[in-house]
Copies of this chain bind each other. A is one copy, B any other.
Amino acid sequence: MATRKALLVGIFVFDEVEVLDFCGPFEVFSVSSATGSPTLGAFDVKLVAQTMEPVSTRGGMRVLPDFTLDDHPPFDILVIPGGPGTRRDINDPRVIEWIRHSQPRVALTSVCTGALLLAEAGRLDNMEATTHAGSHDWLAQYEAVTLRPEARFVDNGWVLTSAGVSAGIDMALHLVERLMGAETATFTATVMEYDRRAMTPEI
């Protein structure tokens, strides 16, 4: 594993993005790649935004993007988080067109209301998907999307969506397990002292 090139993970950030929506997956991919992991250097995680100016999250944390929508390297994995700012970005043609034409090599993913941006861009057409519990009705308005309200996250193969906020951690751990194996996923959850939740609740 040590000589394999890192998978490049791009996380979209925008004003009023939900902090844990993007920091949860950031933490998962980062720990999966850190000293002690069976897959050292597995992922390289970067933030991508509309401009290089600081982005102000929900609650006012300011983070610096690494790339812009117009100028970033090809991502292997793209993460679209949610947050109050999605209600603005869903009406922003630049964001929606960027998502519509994004072709991450391995996976296109959303956390929380990020699923609405994917749906608006047509990326969830003819797929099952989930989003934050408070936005199930919103996602259900997209007739081409099959809502899976009970799911913690949904894996369509190339497209994955997760439920609200902390569910992005479970989706990212699932993706790490798919790509890097159970040993790395277990290492990561152990370092994070996180109790993983399954894709769907046990009956």
Binding site for B on A (CB under 8 A): 18-20, 23-24, 26-27, 29-31, 33-34, 45-47, 54, 58-64, 66, 132-134, 163-167, 169, 191-195, 197
Shortest Cβ distance from A60 into B: residue = B45
Shortest Cβ distance from A65 into B: residue = B62
Which chain B residues lie closer than 8 Å to A46 at the CB level?
Answer: 60
Q: Are A59 and B167 in contact (CB under 8 A)?
A: no
Q: How many copies does the complex hold?
A: 2
20 A-B interface contacts by CB (under 8 A) = A19-B23, A20-B24, A23-B23, A23-B27, A23-B61, A26-B61, A27-B165, A29-B59, A30-B58, A34-B59, A46-B60, A62-B63, A62-B64, A132-B193, A164-B192, A164-B193, A165-B191, A165-B192, A165-B193, A166-B194
Which chain B residues lie closer than 8 Å to A60 at the CB level?
Answer: 30, 45-46
Cβ-neighbour of A164 out of B23, B58, B63, B191 (below 8 A):
B191
Which chain B residues lie closer than 8 Å to A167 at the CB level?
Answer: 193
Q: How far is the CB of A89 from chain B (nearest CB, A)?
A: 18
Shortest Cβ distance from A18 into B: residue = B27
